[in-house]
Structure 1
C-alpha cells in the first residue's frame, strides 16, 4: 500500500493532491494499527463509561505491527516533505519494511537511511562478522543472563503481590528497571550485530540511559529510534517549541501520552506516558541544576517508580505496589541468595556499560577475552527458559 502511495505522492502535481494522498495513507496505516491493537480497548472503555455492552472481537495481534507501521509511515511522510524520492524497486522497499533482525522490536529505521544500504552492493568481511558476533554475544548476555535471571525474581513477585513482603516488592521494582533495559537493549544488540554481519549498520537505540541526569537526556538515550520518531513526526508537526511556552508544554504532553499509548492498549501505558510528559514539563519549568551523581540517582529513581505502571498487570496493582513500597512495613526477605546473585549481575552490567562500553566495535584480543567471559556467564547463569523479549508484545 505505502509503496504505491509513495510513488503517487511524489508524482502528484499540486500540493492539495499530495496532502490528500498523504492523509489517506496515514489514515489507512493508523486504521489498520488501531483495528488490531486498540479496537477492543476502546470498545471496553466505551462499555465501562456508558454501561452499554458492545461485543469485542477475538483479534490476534500481528507481531511487531507497531514497529513496521512506523517504518512504513515515515516513508510516505518523508516523500511528502521532499526528504526522499520513492524507490521503484519493490524488493528493496519490502526489505526495508521487513528486514528481519529489526522487524519485531526495532530499532525503528528511516527509509532515507536504510534504502541506500539495500540498493547498493554490500561488502561482507571477517572483521565486520567478528564485530557483529561480539555484539550479538553481548546481546545474549544481557537477555539470557541478566534479564531472564531477574525475571525469575520479578515475575513471581508481580504475580503474587499480596503474598510477598514489602521489601521484596521494592527490590522487584528496582530490578525490573534493569530487566527491561537488558531485555530490550539486548534485543537491539542482537539486531545490530546481525545487521552488521549482512553489511547493514542499524541505528543505535540505547546509549546507557540510566546514566542520564534529567528526563530530556533519558529520552535521548532510551529507545532512541522511537523518541526521535515521535519528535520528528509528532512533536514537531504539532508545533514543537515554536508556538510559545504553553503550547510547547501541551505538545510535549501529547507526544509522551501517545508514546505511552503506542506501547499498548492499557490505562497503565497511558499513565506511564503521561507521567513522562509531566516530568519533561516540570524539568523545563524549574530548570533544576543538581550535582551529577545526585541528578543521575534522582532521574533513575523516578524512572524506576514510573516503570511500575509499565509492568503492573492492572492500574489497581500499580497503586497497590506504590502503597506497599512507601510504607515498607514487612522487610522480610526469603530469597537472599537470589538477591545476592542479582546484585552481582547488575554489577557486571555496570562494568559492561561504564568501563568496557562498545568493546565490540574493535576486533582485538581484548574483545575476544570479554566475549569468552560473557559466554562463560551465559553457561553459568542463563535460565535457558526461552522467555520471549518484552517488546515482542508491542
Structure 2
C-alpha cells in the first residue's frame, strides 16, 4: 500500500479513528498490530509469512539467549541460529537469482555445466528493513544491552509497525519497545475552537496531545511535497538521460547526476518524513533518517546525515564487530571497504551497487588516510571559515553525485561512459540545451529544490510550520496540496526504496 494513494489515506483515517475510540492500551496495540499486518498483506499477500517467521524466530531465540546467560557457547549457537534464519531468508529471496546469474556466467565461460534456470522469486517488500530490525534486537539481547520482550504481541508490533515497515527508518528495540509501555498519545478529536493547540487534556483513559496531530500532519505534508512534487516530476528528466546516455555531453550527464541525487533524496527522505509524521500522530517517536546530507563537509559527515538508521546499524553491528578503527591501518581500511560494499549489496542484487559501495569505501579510506597523514592540512583553520566550509561541501558533493551514477545505472557500458563524461568534461552544450528545453519543469524543480534547501539550511522547518497559527498552518497545508495536484497525473509512483 503506497502512502501516496487514496487507499492509504482511507486506511490511515480509519486507524487513527479507531485508536481514538479504543480506550484500552492493550487493545490499541493489538489493533495496531492487525492494521500493520493488513497494511503489509495488502501489498505482499502470502509473503507476510516471511515477516511473521522473522518475528517468531527472533522473539523465542532472544528469550532463550537471555536464559543462557551463563552458557556462552549455547548463547552463540542461538545467535547463529537467528543470523542464519534471517540472513538466509534475505539471501534467498533477494540474491538467489543474482547468484544463479553469476554461476551461469562463470559456468559458461569455463564450460563447467549447463545453465541453471532462474527462480524468478518475488522480492518481499521491506525484507531488507525488517530482517535488520530483528537481527539488531537479537544481537542486543546477546550483548546483554537489552532485556528481551516478554510479550509476543509487543515484539510483533515493533517489527511490523506499519509507518516504517516497508522502507524504514530501521527501528531499534531499545528505542521503540519502551514507548509501547506508555499510553498512546493520539490526535485531538475535540473541536479546535474549544481546545488550544498543544494543550494536553484527559479524555477517558487516553492522554490526547493535539500538537501531535498538527506536527505529524506537517511532517507528512513536507514528505508528500518532496515525493510527489519534486521526486516524481524530476524523474522523467533522469530517466531520459540515463536510459541511454551514450552520445550525451558532459553537462547532460552532470545534470542527470544532480537530478537523480535530488530525486532519490526527495523520494526517500519524503518516505521517511511521512513515516515519522504518521508515527507522531499516533504518539510514537521514530528516529530521523536524514539530516541535510548534501551539506556534508566530508564523506564521514555524509554518512552521519544520509540514511542514518542504516549507517548507524552498519557501524554498530558490522564495522565495530569487525574491529572498527582499532585494528592496523590496513585492517581499518579493509573494514571500511567491507562495510560499504555490503551496504551497497544491501541495496540490491546487482554489481552496480557494489561499485557504488566501493566508491564510498574509497572516499572514506582516502579521507581517513589524509587525515592521519596530513592533519595540518585537514585541520587547517581555513576549513572552519564560511568559504572553507562551502568549498568542503561542494567538493564532497561532487564525489557523492559521481557515486549516484553507478547507483542509478546498471548497464556497465552506460555507467562507465556516464562516469567518464562526469569527470572529463567536454564543455559541449548543444544537446544539453535541447534536453533542458524539453524538460523545463524538471530543471525548474531542480533549481527550486536547491534554492529551498539553501534558504532553509539550519532551520527546523517542520517545527516552524507546525507552530504557525491555525489559519496560517491550514493555508500552508492547503498550498502543499495544491502544488502537488498541479503536476499530479493521477498515477501514484512507487518509492525508490521499495525495490530494496
TM-score under structure 1 length normalisation: 0.95
2:451 counterpart residue number: 347
Question: In the TM superposition, what is the alpha-carbon distance from 1:376 to its structure 2 partner?
Answer: 3.5
Verify: 1:39 aligned to 2:137, yes or no.
no
Conserved 8 A contact 2:299-2:367: yes
Query: Which whole-Å CA distance do the structure 2 matches of 1:370 and 1:346 have between them?
Result: 20
SS across alignment from 2:491? coil
Bigger drift between 351-360 and 49-58 goes to: 351-360
SS of equivalent residue, structure 1 residue 238: coil
Is the CA contact (8 Å cut-off) linking 2:218 and 2:462 kept in structure 1? no
Residue of structure 2 aligned with 1:121, choices 166, 179, 183: 183
Structure number with greater Rg is 2
Query: 1-side partners of 2:249 and 2:485: how far apart?
Result: 31
Alignment correspondent of 2:162: 100
In 2, Cα distance between the equivalents of 1:160 and 1:22?
Answer: 46
SS of corresponding position for 1:246: helix
Equivalences for residues 1-394 of structure 1 within 5 A: 1-12=57-68, 13-51=70-108, 52=113, 53-124=115-186, 125-162=209-246, 165-287=249-371, 288-289=378-379, 290=383, 291-325=388-422, 326-328=424-426, 330-332=428-430, 333-334=433-434, 335-336=436-437, 337-338=440-441, 339-355=443-459, 357-359=461-463, 362-365=466-469, 370-394=476-500
Instruction: Decide whether aligned partners of structure 1 residues 349 and 368 sit closer, same or farther in structure 2, where only a CA change above 3 A counts.
Output: farther
Q: Per the alignment, in what secondary structure is the counterpart of residue 172 of structure 1?
A: helix
Distance of aligned partners of 1:33 and 1:361 in 2 relative to their CA distance in 1, 3 Å threshold: farther
What residue ranges of structure 1 are gaps of 5+ in the alignment?
A: none
Tell me if structure 2 keeps the 8 A contact 1:132–1:360. Answer: no
Q: CA deviation at 1:164?
A: 5.0
Separation (CA, whole Å) in 2 of partners of 1:165 and 1:243: 44
Structure 2 segments unaligned to the other structure (5+ residues): 1-56, 187-208, 372-377
Worse overlay, 364-373 or 191-200: 364-373
1:159 Cα offset (Å):
1.4
CA distance in 2 between partners of 1:211 and 1:370 (Å) = 26
In 2, Cα distance between the equivalents of 1:163 and 1:149? Answer: 24
TM-score normalised according to structure 2 size: 0.75
How many angstroms does 1:353 deviate by? Answer: 4.6
Asked if 1 retains the 8 angstrom alpha-carbon contact of 2:225 and 2:480, the reply is yes
Alignment partners' CA distance in 2, 1:193 and 1:171: 32
CA offsets per residue over residues 9-31 of structure 1, 9 Å max, x none? Answer: 11124111001110111111111
Give the deviation of 1:361 after TM superposition.
7.5
My pick for the range that moved more, 351-360 or 305-314, is: 351-360
The separation in 2 between residues aligned to 1:361 and 1:69, in whole angstroms, is 35
Residues 361-394 of structure 1, C-alpha deviations (whole Å, 9 max, x = no match): 7432365554344334223344543111000001
Change (3 A) 1:360 1:367: farther
Q: Secondary structure at the match of 1:221?
A: coil
SS at structure 1 position matched to 2:230: helix
